[in-house]
Amino acid sequence: MNSKAAFRVSQGGLKDDYIFAQMHFHWGADSAQGSEHTIDGVRYPLEMHIVNYKASYGNLGTAVQKPDGLAVLGVMFEVSNTDNAALTPLVNALANITDAGALAEVATAYPLQAFLPKDTEKFYRYEGSLTTPTCNEAVIWTVFDTPVEVSESQLNALRAIKTEDGNKLINNYRPPQPLNNRKVLVSGVGNSADSVSMKKMSLALYVMSTMTVIMMNM
């Protein structure tokens, strides 16, 4: 994808434009687990990460070596009685993924913004790491407070994906880690003892193209 035409994230306290690199999901064996973040002690069954690299660093490989190299958007999903329409093309494509490492083309192009919650003004912000090896301390995290919906059947489609040894790919999440003196900021006025109030800000999300390829795991 041409970086000039890519999905970009800026403002909301970020000091540069960040360019979309990839997105992936983390989920559990059942709907009582799966998210890597908790909000007010609530664990969600699915968490999506939209990974973006700092434009001035030029590429993902360089950015991941820098303390402010990545801006990752975290979106929580809660169980609904109806399917999430944005996930439907992806879930349909999963039927063609029968072996580990297999690739499937998503039949319908759709904007990344369709995956985001309607309210993007309320979010949590902290400086941390990638949640998968090598866990580089290179991430400015933005975790949205408002979850989006996903059906149990859509979650089961994710849980049916197989690993290299033929087992179901489940529980591919890292549990919440100690704060280690990090400050968690919240847009607007925070009530949590672990949060520091931050002046209300809005992320600018520029959807300048659509995405046709999704990485399932990172």
- Domain assignment present for residue 82? The answer is yes
- Domain assignment present for residue 133? The answer is yes
Structure token pair of residue 209: 């193209």
Q: How many domains does the chain have?
A: 1
Instruction: Report the DSSP pairing between strands 139-144 and 195-198.
Output: unpaired
Structure token pair of residue 65: 């070596």
**pLDDT at 193 exceeding the cut of 60:** no
**pLDDT at 42 exceeding the cut of 90:** yes
In angstroms, the CA 117 to CA 146 distance is 6
154 DSSP assignment: H
pLDDT of residue 3: 54
- Domain assignment present for residue 212? The answer is no
More confident residue, 96 or 214: 96
**Are 121 and 187 contacting, i.e. CB atoms less than 8 angstroms apart?**
yes
Whole-number mean pLDDT of the chain? Answer: 84
* Residues of the domain holding 54: 3-206
**Are 38 and 77 contacting, i.e. CB atoms less than 8 angstroms apart?**
no
For residue range 119-174, what is the model confidence (pLDDT) as tens digits?
A: 998 999 999 999 998 899 999 999 999 999 999 999 999 999 988 888 999 999 99
pLDDT of residue 4: 57
pLDDT tier, 7 (very low <50, low <70, confident <90, very high otherwise): confident
In angstroms, the CA 142 to CA 90 distance is 24
pLDDT of residue 209: 28
183 DSSP assignment: P
**pLDDT at 201 exceeding the cut of 50:** no
Q: In the chain, helix, strand, coil percent, each to 5?
A: 15, 35, 55
211 DSSP assignment: B
In angstroms, the CA 23 to CA 6 distance is 13
CATH code where residue 162 lies: 3.10.200.10
- Domain assignment present for residue 215? The answer is no
Q: Which helix (H) or strand (E) holds 111?
A: none
In angstroms, the CA 26 to CA 88 distance is 17
- Domain assignment present for residue 216? The answer is no
Structure token pair of residue 203: 């992320």
- Domain assignment present for residue 211? The answer is no
Q: pTM for this structure?
A: 0.85
